[in-house]
Amino acid sequence: MYKFSTTVFFYSFIFCINSSIAQNAHIAGIITEQQIRNQHPVFDLYAKRYQPDSVAIDYLSQLEDSIHIVTVLGTWCKDSKKHVPSFFKILEQSHNKLITTTYIGIDYNTHETDSTSGKYAIRVNPTFLVFRNGMEIGRIEEEPKLSIEQDLVLILKQTLPSNHKKN
């Protein structure tokens, strides 16, 4: 009986340590795409596999407005693992220097950071907040309606100034 309880205790202890280490490995705060890809290789793998909609990519590549997208994600979150890599590929293929981004990791335990607490009213993740001239013009929360790139194009088309080149 002593051997059995010692074995159970040992494996329980190892499980708790591994769970603790796994949670600490998640990134919180302002981070870079490269940090996400390096520390969580599944994001890199999914980005390489994703094939964005070519019409949406063409639109984004020809965009003449400066757009900033704040991407709030959890490296532990299955929806973030699904959609943030798509976003990486979208930016990569659009080759548009006018589209910039900031990535903010959400802590596993609190689901917020000082950067997001109250500032962006984040309810779910990932959340892609789209800004033009410092004003939020739209957001994609958790699951896109069509795809990240198609939803992004819809947000931009609905809020374009009248003098913008339209396709």
CA–CA distance, 148 with 130 (Å, rounded to integer): 12
pLDDT above 80 for 167: no
Length of the chain counted residue by residue? 167
Of residues 10 and 3, the one with the higher pLDDT is 3
Quick: pLDDT tens for 119-151: 888 888 899 999 998 999 999 999 999 999 999
pLDDT above 50 for 84: yes
CATH of the domain at 122: 3.40.30.10
Residue 19 domain-assigned (yes or no): no
Residue with tokens 């962006």: 120
Residue with tokens 């802590």: 107
CA proximity to 68, closest of 152, 164, 162: 152
Of residues 160 and 52, the one with the higher pLDDT is 52
Q: Which amino acid is at 32?
A: T
Strand intervals (E) in 10-159: 29-31, 67-73, 99-105, 127-132, 135-141
Residue 58 domain-assigned (yes or no): yes
Residue 81 domain-assigned (yes or no): yes
Residue 96 domain-assigned (yes or no): yes
CA proximity to 95, closest of 126, 52, 137: 52
Quick: pLDDT tens for 47-81: 999 999 999 999 999 999 999 999 999 999 999 99
CB 73 within 8 A of CB 126: yes
Rg (the chain; Cα; Å): 19
Containing structural domain, residue 123: 27-158
pTM: 0.79
Residue 17 domain-assigned (yes or no): no
Beta pairing class for 135-141 and 127-132:
antiparallel
How many structural domains does the chain have?
1
CA–CA distance, 131 with 140 (Å, rounded to integer): 12
Residue 166 domain-assigned (yes or no): no
Residue 13 domain-assigned (yes or no): no
Q: Which tokens hold the place of 91?
A: 């930016």
Residue 163 domain-assigned (yes or no): no
